[in-house]
Chains A and B, each alone.
Chain A
């Protein structure tokens, strides 16, 4: 499949590029460290006043924070850079270069960029997660492991679809970059399980901006809260988002190519 081979090529080039900027690694480490410290301080502050938040214990919330960090790293490494580049190219009219290559355009614009050093976030998140799980005396059973990884994958796919949909509106609207900034702000809501938010916010964070699927549901898998119902719902929503995103992309592309000057 040329598509997959293409993706790997871009990955390889992206990684080699990043090696040139080793200073970025140190900056990333510092940023991750600061984010982690602030997160832990926040968590400890909350649990200095209570022992339970919306049915979640401290160790469980630590696990949520771990998933949040991992997913954040994935988004900033693979999804966001591609979408931002796409936004710019649509705005500047330089998308044509990508469209004339012999590969599916959606695949191409989605894999071109890769920020290697964000891996620091993923690694840190994994460490935090492991610490949390040991505190929870976590039972390694098939359902929680499978549930976790599949939920994580589905969450990532949904976030990708969401970003693609928002970015594709750049074919019609100008202010897309600000909407993207909005998402980055909203993603921070994923630090806490969406159960604690008021209903209206919870629905927004589940169906409109799939933060819940990115963070809460994988965390639910690990803490024994994931039911088959929710899992199937996530699967259905993922498939829906994939189809919806692709159709928006195709429509926008037609619009763009048709109006080339």
Chain B
């Protein structure tokens, strides 16, 4: 156990050192990423103004808050893509990591986690700039802040699991970009990325409960931006943990089968 903690800390430290050398590249990526939420924000603020100040309970200020927090949550849930899995297998990187006496997934989780530390630090000035332009209506309580901190890391883990599952499909076939695109489209709609889920029709909200998407996206945002009572905050964390656990179990199962296939066919 101690060995794993040591590994995570060492790997995270390395990831921080590596990424810290590329602040410009990281910033370009983040700036490119904010085009999307800014567009959503502007459109919905226009709708709110049109409808007399608010729509679905959200004022322009609330939309600004939602979409600015969105940028942090989005940065937190960028993980190794399924396309990356395909590349990794083909290039032989996977073979080399299989030689280590540690599950390759630990490496993914640790490295991206370290990267996230850099991302959070770089995000702060960006958030400040966005707040100056769009004047968000954001008054989080201390409890909300603390829960949010956990919620974004849990969100990171949930998405790591779900995208690893998706990525491991490439062990069997490489003609899967269609599958990935459909997945991302579903995620866009059902996660709270496109709009706050409360603005979606009832039936969509009900469907969203069955998927992990909102727990990696909408829920953390709502923790900070919404006004959830304390018990809802904690139940939410619990559901996130449940999804992580479920994800770990499924990933392990798929991995065992995938590796057997990889070892039979070769990389």
Whether A31 contacts B28 in the complex (CB less than 8 A), given A53-B46, A186-B35, comes out as no
Whether A54 contacts B178 in the complex (CB less than 8 A), given A49-B199, A191-B39, comes out as no
Q: Do A38 and B51 touch (CB < 8 A)?
A: no
Chain B residues whose CB sits within 8 angstroms of the CB of A42 once the complex forms: 194-195
Closest to B134 in A: A198
Find residues 172-194 in chain B having any chain A CB closer than 8 Å to their own CB.
175, 177-178, 181-182, 185, 188-189, 194
Q: Do A178 and B32 touch (CB < 8 A)?
A: yes
Cα-based distance from A221 to B135 in the complex (angstroms):
34
- Quote the shortest CB–CB distance from A139 to chain B (angstroms): 27
Is A236 in contact with chain B by the CB < 8 A criterion? no
Tally of A interface residues using CB under 8 Å? 35
Chain B residues whose CB sits within 8 angstroms of the CB of A16 once the complex forms: none
Where chain A touches its partner, the secondary structure class is helix
Q: Do A41 and B189 touch (CB < 8 A)?
A: yes
Find residues 196-211 in chain A having any chain B CB closer than 8 Å to their own CB.
196-198, 200-201
Chain B residues whose CB sits within 8 angstroms of the CB of A186 once the complex forms: 35
Is A261 in contact with chain B by the CB < 8 A criterion? no
Cα-based distance from A140 to B115 in the complex (angstroms):
56
Q: Do B43 and A38 touch (CB < 8 A)?
A: no
Chain B residues whose CB sits within 8 angstroms of the CB of A185 once the complex forms: 32-33, 35-36
Q: Do B28 and A181 touch (CB < 8 A)?
A: yes
Within 8 Å by CB of A34, from B24, B33, B181, B200, lies B181
Is A46 in contact with chain B by the CB < 8 A criterion? yes
Interface 1/0 per residue, A187-226 and B, CB below 8 Å: 0110110001110110000000000000000000000000
Is B56 in contact with chain A by the CB < 8 A criterion? yes
Find residues 41-66 in chain B having any chain A CB closer than 8 Å to their own CB.
42-44, 46-47, 50-51, 55-56
Q: Do B200 and A178 touch (CB < 8 A)?
A: no
Chain B residues whose CB sits within 8 angstroms of the CB of A191 once the complex forms: 39
Count A/B pairs, Cβ under 8 Å.
Answer: 83
How large, as a class, is the contact surface on chain B? 20 to 34
Q: Do A178 and B43 touch (CB < 8 A)?
A: no
Q: Do B39 and A175 touch (CB < 8 A)?
A: no
- Quote the shortest CB–CB distance from A52 to chain B (angstroms): 6
Whether A179 contacts B177 in the complex (CB less than 8 A), given A45-B200, A50-B50, comes out as no
Q: Do A53 and B43 touch (CB < 8 A)?
A: yes
Is B234 in contact with chain A by the CB < 8 A criterion? no
Chain B residues whose CB sits within 8 angstroms of the CB of A49 once the complex forms: 47, 51, 55-56, 199
Q: Do A175 and B28 touch (CB < 8 A)?
A: yes
Chain B residues whose CB sits within 8 angstroms of the CB of A52 once the complex forms: 50
Find residues 1-45 in chain B having any chain A CB closer than 8 Å to their own CB.
24-25, 28-29, 31-33, 35-36, 38-39, 42-44
- Quote the shortest CB–CB distance from B21 to chain A (angstroms): 14
Find residues 14-33 in chain A having any chain B CB closer than 8 Å to their own CB.
23, 26-27, 30-31
Q: Do A53 and B39 touch (CB < 8 A)?
A: no
Cα-based distance from A34 to B179 in the complex (angstroms):
12
Cα-based distance from A201 to B47 in the complex (angstroms):
17
Is A182 in contact with chain B by the CB < 8 A criterion? yes
Chain A residues whose CB sits within 8 angstroms of the CB of B44 once the complex forms: 46
Q: Do B25 and A178 touch (CB < 8 A)?
A: yes
Q: Do A53 and B28 touch (CB < 8 A)?
A: no
Is B201 in contact with chain A by the CB < 8 A criterion? yes
Is A37 in contact with chain B by the CB < 8 A criterion? yes
Q: Do A30 and B178 touch (CB < 8 A)?
A: yes
Is A48 in contact with chain B by the CB < 8 A criterion? yes
Within 8 Å by CB of A188, from B31, B35, B133, B181, lies B35
Closest to A56 in B: B46
Chain B residues whose CB sits within 8 angstroms of the CB of A27 once the complex forms: 177-178
Cα-based distance from A120 to B51 in the complex (angstroms):
37
Cα-based distance from A38 to B39 in the complex (angstroms):
15
Closest to B201 in A: A48
- Quote the shortest CB–CB distance from A36 to chain B (angstroms): 11
- Quote the shortest CB–CB distance from B256 to chain A (angstroms): 31
- Quote the shortest CB–CB distance from B136 to chain A (angstroms): 14
Contacts A38-B188, A178-B28, A185-B36 known; 20 new A-B pairs at CB < 8 A: A23-B175, A30-B178, A41-B194, A45-B194, A45-B200, A46-B44, A49-B56, A49-B199, A50-B51, A50-B55, A53-B43, A53-B46, A54-B46, A181-B29, A182-B31, A185-B32, A189-B35, A192-B39, A192-B43, A196-B43
B residues engaging A (CB < 8 A)? Answer: 24-25, 28-29, 31-33, 35-36, 38-39, 42-44, 46-47, 50-51, 55-56, 133, 175, 177-178, 181-182, 185, 188-189, 194-195, 199-201
Closest 9 CB pairs of A and B: A185-B35, A178-B28, A185-B32, A196-B46, A34-B185, A182-B32, A49-B55, A50-B47, A50-B50
